[in-house]
């Protein structure tokens, strides 16, 4: 579970860099906006910030937009990311510590918290499945020219070979993901050339 959440953070970081490439290099809207650039760059060291960037991107690709009325987060995993619970789960899943009270403060009179008692198999399964679902959907969509990426470096990994490998390693998928993949796979795989980046 811990490694899966770390992977989500690294994907979140990649998505932040992709956004910087787009806003600075392509649209130029952040080119002279030092405040925004500084804020985004400083946020790269925030675990929760990177998790939220991943969640925002993943929720759009997995058909669970978080930008609806009253900012509802349909999936419990996305809700946990935005509430900060994902970061606490990551810490609980690897570190020995103290249990916490209802306000989240350490309970010095409580029991010692052990990772294998706090991170259940279901929690780990759900985190890994969500992460895998997103990567597979993103790669399938990109390799069929349905989705795009603003970073030529991302294209090196968004391949059918990667999809095949991930499905073999982790065959479990959420029902919504299966539906999305069925629709995407109706579109033929395309070449998706990136010559325009050289311009």
Average pLDDT over residues 72-82: 69
Average pLDDT over residues 42-48: 84
More confident residue, 195 or 6: 6
Say if residue 100's pLDDT is above 80: no
Closest by CA position to 91, among listed 9, 24, 164: 9
Return the pLDDT at 66. Answer: 44
The alpha carbon of 191 is separated from its chain's Cα centroid by a whole number of angstroms, namely 25
Return the pLDDT at 73. Answer: 46
Return the pLDDT at 64. Answer: 61
Contact 39, 154 (CB under 8 A): no
Burial 32-59 (b: 16+ CB within 10 A, else e): eeeeeeeebeebeeebbbbbbbbbbbbb
pTM of the model: 0.79
Say if residue 155's pLDDT is above 50: yes
Rounded CA gap, 10 and 150, in Å?
Answer: 17
Q: Domain extents for the chain?
A: 2-194
Helix (H) or strand (E) holding 97: strand 97-98
Say if residue 71's pLDDT is above 50: no
What's the pLDDT tens digit per position in 8-21?
A: 999 999 888 888 87
Return the pLDDT at 74. Answer: 55
Return the pLDDT at 136. Answer: 96
Average pLDDT over residues 122-139: 93
Tell me the pLDDT band of 171, cut-offs 50, 70 and 90. very high
What's the pLDDT tens digit per position in 20-35?
A: 878 887 788 877 888 8
Return the pLDDT at 72. Answer: 46
Return the pLDDT at 128. Answer: 93
Closest by CA position to 53, among listed 18, 93, 26, 90: 18
Within the chain, residue ranges assigned H as helices are: 2-20, 34-43, 47-61, 76-83, 85-92, 115-118, 121-143, 152-155, 160-169, 175-184
The alpha carbon of 195 is separated from its chain's Cα centroid by a whole number of angstroms, namely 28
Return the pLDDT at 69. Answer: 45
The average confidence (pLDDT) of the chain is 82
Return the pLDDT at 101. Answer: 80
Return the pLDDT at 91. Answer: 82
Q: How many CA atoms lie within 13 A of 89 on its CB side?
A: 24
């Amino acid at each position: 579970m811990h490694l899966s959440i770390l992977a989500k953070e690294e994907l979140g970081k990649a998505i932040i860099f992709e956004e910087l490439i787009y806003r600075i290099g392509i649209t130029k809207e952040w080119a002279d906006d030092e405040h925004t650039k500084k804020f985004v760059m400083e946020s790269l060291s925030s675990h929760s910030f990177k998790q939220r960037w991943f969640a925002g991107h993943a929720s759009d690709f997995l058909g669970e937009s978080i930008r609806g009325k009253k900012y509802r987060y349909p999936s419990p995993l996305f809700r946990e990311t935005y509430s900060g619970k994902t970061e606490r789960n990551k810490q609980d899943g690897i570190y020995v510590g103290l249990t916490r009270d209802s306000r989240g403060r350490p309970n010095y009179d409580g029991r010692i918290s052990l990772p294998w008692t706090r991170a259940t198999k279901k929690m780990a399964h759900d985190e890994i499945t969500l992460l895998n679902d997103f990567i597979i959907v993103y790669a399938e969509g990109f390799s069929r020219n349905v989705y795009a990426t603003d970073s030529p470096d991302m294209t090196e990994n968004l391949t059918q070979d990667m999809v095949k490998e991930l499905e073999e390693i982790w065959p479990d998928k959420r029902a919504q993901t299966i539906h999305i993949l069925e629709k995407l796979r109706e579109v033929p795989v395309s070449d998706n050339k990136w010559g325009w980046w050289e311009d």
